[in-house]
Chains A and B, each alone.
Chain A
Amino acid sequence: MTVSTIENRDDLIRYLEAALALEHATLPPYLTAYYSIRSTTNSDAAHIIRVAAVEEMLHLTLVANVLNAVGGRPDLTRPGFVPSYPAYLPDGEDDFTVDLRPFSPEAVETFCKIERPGKAPSADERLLSAPADRAPLLVSSPTAEGMRFYSIGEFYEEITEGLEKVAADDPALFRGDPARQVGPEYFYSGGGTMIVVTDLDSARRALQFIAAQGEGLDSGIYDAEGELAHYYRFRQLQLGRYYQEGDEPGTPTGPPLSISWDDVHNVKVSAKLADYPPGSELARVAREFNADYGALLALLTQAFDGRPALLQDAVCDMFRLRDGFNRLICNPLPGHDGLHAAPTFEIEPAAGSDQPAARDAGEPTRAVTP
């Protein structure tokens, strides 16, 4: 057993903050692939990606609940919270980058790597030294410099063990105000039941739920609720067939999936604002999307920082972002050989985390007084 990298509450909070960023970091890649699918086509693939993305949003909220329970303050507006794509994630064998890609075999390959069940051969090998030239790593240790995790599952395993250790040393660990918890009343259609975290037991359940839903760590292809882990959901897209109960990991035996790789807007991989023609209308729309996305992160921060009822407003903003995402992706990117535009997720840092960006940072829209 390696020495724990979580010695105290401060370490734990830093890990949970990293977990919050990690859960969010999976969303732009999933959403880009999802919205690149032409409407009314590829319903099997669209459904699989959508379910995974919605569950990542649940995980994000669960991590916020754990962080709040131990007296932390979730902040989705801090600089660097949204990674610059392509970003690195470890998978235990070779490093790979996470790009913002259209729905494609390459995108699905990346999704499988993100969600790969990664049980380190022994606890000693959970933490690996990170290659110096590979930055930024999403699943790196926030307390042991230069170290990264074998897999996301192992990262959560480290947090759970750290949580148990710190809770044993500090009877007042769960000091957070219960009013800051996001309960099921604020979270709907979100890929599972929200867990309110008030003690070690509920914190452990929240973290284990995240790990199980993502990668099936220790729990096979189906979890205790009979739900297929993300890794195996994505494998279905590679293997062309659905899993059913009793299947072995490599050989799904359910109905075939229908996939049409061509019914996709071929968006530029990990587009940046610099790829947009300077001063163009399209560049302005792409900047506005980023500003709206930044405003959503600021609103979520408020919701996770003591005003959970704001989550309902945030969901409405998410639906507006969906429409903006779709509009951008339907536009060709001039000068890129027919490749299409896509959000760049280059988020301007807010003026200060206590001063969230204005709600309507993009094109000014006003509520019309009835």
Chain B
Amino acid sequence: MTAPSLEDFLLLSVDLTAFEETDLLGTGMAEGYLEKVRAACGDGIVAALLDAHRAARADAAAENGNQTRTPLEGEAFDRALRHRVFSDDRLGPVARNIIKLWYAGMWYALPPEWIDRYGAHAAVGTSTVTAASYQEGLLWRAIGANPPGAKAPGYGSWARPPRIADRYLKGARR
């Protein structure tokens, strides 16, 4: 079996997190996160997850007519992703964990029933990835704040409202 590629992992991660590839690479954590997922779940499950993601994109593309944009938006892709990935007993918990990994910089232990069924790997428990992963968590950018204790934002900046990119507001009231 060929090792899961970083490119495929990034493509999956863009759809799971709604952050762009440059943002994900910009954390400097992408390789480390892929290693973490492989160590926790094994290459077989990672490869199956990437296959399911590819299939979900193909389903949505067929339904929408050759839509290749990333992240794929719209109902068809949402449905395909839920069908192929999130509702799958084996792949769903892993995909949800990858979202948490990017947002919190932390690998959370998979549910005990998942481990009983699909096998325990050495790195399966809750752990941080590196000292940098906390401050690189996407959640801080998603809420327009700095990680407490890191990436100092400048004196007095806390008196101002958070700055959030338009694309994440989706028309919400400002």
Q: Are A188 and B26 in contact (CB under 8 A)?
A: no
Q: Are B164 and A326 in contact (CB under 8 A)?
A: no
Interface residues on A, range: 20 to 34
In the complex, chain A residues whose CB is within 8 Å of the CB of B144: 365, 368
In the complex, chain A residues whose CB is within 8 Å of the CB of B153: 316, 319-320
**Are A312 and B164 CB-contacts (below 8 A) given A366-B169, A367-B174?**
no
Write the nearest CB–CB distance from A98 to chain B, whole angstroms.
26
Q: How far is the CA of A188 from the CA of B156 in the complex (A)?
A: 12
Chain A CB within 8 A of B166 CB = yes
**Are A318 and B154 CB-contacts (below 8 A) given A331-B25, A366-B164, A368-B144?**
yes
Q: Are B22 and A331 in contact (CB under 8 A)?
A: yes
Q: Are A367 and B161 in contact (CB under 8 A)?
A: yes
Q: Are B155 and A315 in contact (CB under 8 A)?
A: yes
Majority-rule SS of B interface residues: loop
- Specify the chain B residue showing the minimal Cβ separation from A282: B22
**Are A315 and B154 CB-contacts (below 8 A) given A366-B174, A370-B161?**
yes
Q: Are A285 and B22 in contact (CB under 8 A)?
A: yes
- Specify the chain A residue showing the minimal Cβ separation from B151: A323
In the complex, chain B residues whose CB is within 8 Å of the CB of A38: 28
Within 8 A of B (CB), among A314-356: 315-316, 318-320, 322-323, 326-328, 330-332
Q: Are B166 and A40 in contact (CB under 8 A)?
A: no
Within 8 A of A (CB), among B122-174: 131-132, 144, 151-157, 160-166, 169, 173-174
Chain A CB within 8 A of B23 CB = yes
Chain A CB within 8 A of B20 CB = yes
Q: Are A330 and B156 in contact (CB under 8 A)?
A: no
Q: Are A331 and B157 in contact (CB under 8 A)?
A: no
Chain A CB within 8 A of B27 CB = yes
Chain A CB within 8 A of B21 CB = yes
Q: Are A364 and B165 in contact (CB under 8 A)?
A: yes
**12 examples of A-B residue contacts, CB within 8 angstroms:** A188-B155, A281-B21, A316-B156, A319-B151, A319-B157, A322-B151, A331-B22, A363-B165, A366-B166, A367-B174, A368-B144, A368-B169
